[in-house]
Structure 1
């Protein structure tokens, strides 16, 4: 690369991975962009639930600043937001509609949207729910980056008026996700925040198998699970697992389970960051089924539909087969789904907008880059 882009992001959270999957997605992408020399600013709304659970308050790969509300954002960052080569607004941004309107008042081009929740977003819009994005705003974005690929991209352009919709799947910071060499602690594990629509699937694909296999060990990590859930005695619970402990967590599982939200199953082509993280750690994958899964991973994972499928996988798959699954999934992810790969896809799409190219700027301190 011979040029550098100046990119400002406004997203749900970079500083805290508590109760959201956005932070790790942004971290992998921004690390990749930083490695290629781009100038990066991430602006995050200062909210108490993340402020109390920050696990990355001072990143080395970008400048990170917090704002109180939209007036504070504009008072302190208007110049930078107006002058950046591109401004990228993420889904679930607090007061997102007001923030987007403000940005469109500051600049006529180079405003993009990164939807890390595309099927959920479109389901909300179809119900008239414009909590963080208004339907009228979609045609104003130069690019609509979508966590979901496949047919949803055409729908975004044809039905919602997006100028150009591009799949930008989540990714993994490969340098942080490697097998740790620790012995297995669990036969099957799951990492994810509680969700009403995922819970019946988790019951079917982990909790019931745990009941049927009392001699095996299971684990569920993530916050916000109701106290009313009847966990079997052989299911260990971890309330919150910060990213620094993810590699160890995956490395200590014989298999890891992926469970997908209902809207994303219906849309297909919505790979969870947990798939990429576990695969990078060389942990074999067991996943629910949705369109696009075979195209993304081929036969490098075990696709299940019910309790019997999971029990069979845990009891029948032998060690050579388990290791083969892990190796093929890892190779797929390291070749196609790292933060470095995703960052170059992202930067290439921005350059296609005709944004002004700059000479590479010298490396500066984080303070100077704000």
Structure 2
């Protein structure tokens, strides 16, 4: 298959600081590069991400950091001109509308322009609430919309907004990055949760994590992520701030169980496993997740993952877990994601979509 040049405009590849999609970008792009595609990632110098890099520029992707100004963006677009595929992701965080317009403007007549949404439920809610949003008019101009979750509801919604094609490319595991690792005492806990403090997540963290901690005062809870430093917490919850991706494996392996809490919009939509789901499963951790439609497409409830509808059920799971049970669930989850949910398998679908091949056989699908 002919290798392609891909210009990828996103939030950041090298920093996960206030940028939960970083590991998703890394997994997809690294797998595409392994197939011979040449990718350049264009990211703005914004939100202090360059001061909090998790990785150096990788050998499998050229990284261009540009100033978040009109001139800086123009230079980045000029550099990307001529690529076979130009990609604009959601949530860059600065100049999003201008970047989308610029990506469409440099698309070659025989090339492709892709809108890649890493928070589709939130994007769609914003578009519905604000008809004048430029993205409403821009969507039909892209050759396809890819999302990292959302399933049938998101596909229908983007199609109704004029998308020529909408396909979910779900989060997955890069087994070279996320894998079992030795425990570390600094991450020891009965239950850990890692996630930034965001407006549509905070109430759910209170309901699923902090409520569970309040019900189990004799258990240890660990909270990682940005923004929690001034949040009132139960005495048995230890907040440790930003956790760099190099420490994710140890964090996931050091607790009896790891909790995933979806953002509100993703939980309501369903079919939206966060990167944390696959990171934890890839480390062989025992994962507890909030309940959402479509979980069975990725992990089997009760055997490969524990599902909770509220903090009370989270507390019940934690209180009932033995080390042997937790380890059995972790082993089953690891086997499942290695067999069916790696970025290598997701890249098969992306490559087929970008080259016009039959992508259908590579896609995870479940009817609504």
Verify same fold: TM over 0.5.
Answer: yes
| Counterpart among 125, 128, 150 of residue 126 in structure 1 | 128
**Equivalent residues of 2:228, 2:239 under 8 A apart:** no
**Equivalent residues of 1:156, 1:165 under 8 A apart:** no
- Distance change in 2, residues 1:127/1:285 (3 Å): same
Q: Which has the higher contact order (CA 8 A, sep 6+)?
A: 1
Q: Does 1:330 align with 2:334?
A: yes
CA distance in 1, matches of 2:326, 2:193: 17
Q: Does 1:276 align with 2:278?
A: yes
CA distance in 2, matches of 1:103, 1:200: 36
Q: Does 1:195 align with 2:198?
A: yes
Segments of structure 2 that go 5 or more residues without pairing to the other structure are 359-368
**Equivalent residues of 2:159, 2:166 under 8 A apart:** no
Q: Does 1:295 align with 2:294?
A: no
Aligned to 1:253: 255
- Report the Cα offset of residue 332 of structure 1: 1.8
**Equivalent residues of 1:124, 1:130 under 8 A apart:** no
**Equivalent residues of 1:142, 1:353 under 8 A apart:** no
SS in 1 for 2:176: helix
Could you tell which deviates more after superposition, 234-243 or 179-188?
179-188
The number of residues matched between the two structures is 350
Q: What's the Cα RMSD here?
A: 2.0
- Report the Cα offset of residue 43 of structure 1: 0.4
Aligned to 1:105: 105
SS in 2 for 1:178: coil
**Equivalent residues of 2:82, 2:106 under 8 A apart:** no
Pairing 1:1-370 to 2, within 5 Å after superposition: 2-68=1-67, 69-78=69-78, 80-93=79-92, 94-107=94-107, 108=109, 109-128=111-130, 134-182=135-183, 185-225=188-228, 227=230, 229-299=231-301, 300-352=304-356
CA distance in 2, matches of 1:85, 1:342: 20
**Equivalent residues of 2:77, 2:102 under 8 A apart:** no
Output one character per residue of 1:230-261: Cα deviation in whole Å (capped at 9) or x when no partner.
Answer: 21222111111010110011010110001111
Output one character per residue of 1:192-251: Cα deviation in whole Å (capped at 9) or x when no partner.
Answer: 000233222222222222223222211000011261x22122211111101011001101
**Equivalent residues of 2:42, 2:76 under 8 A apart:** no
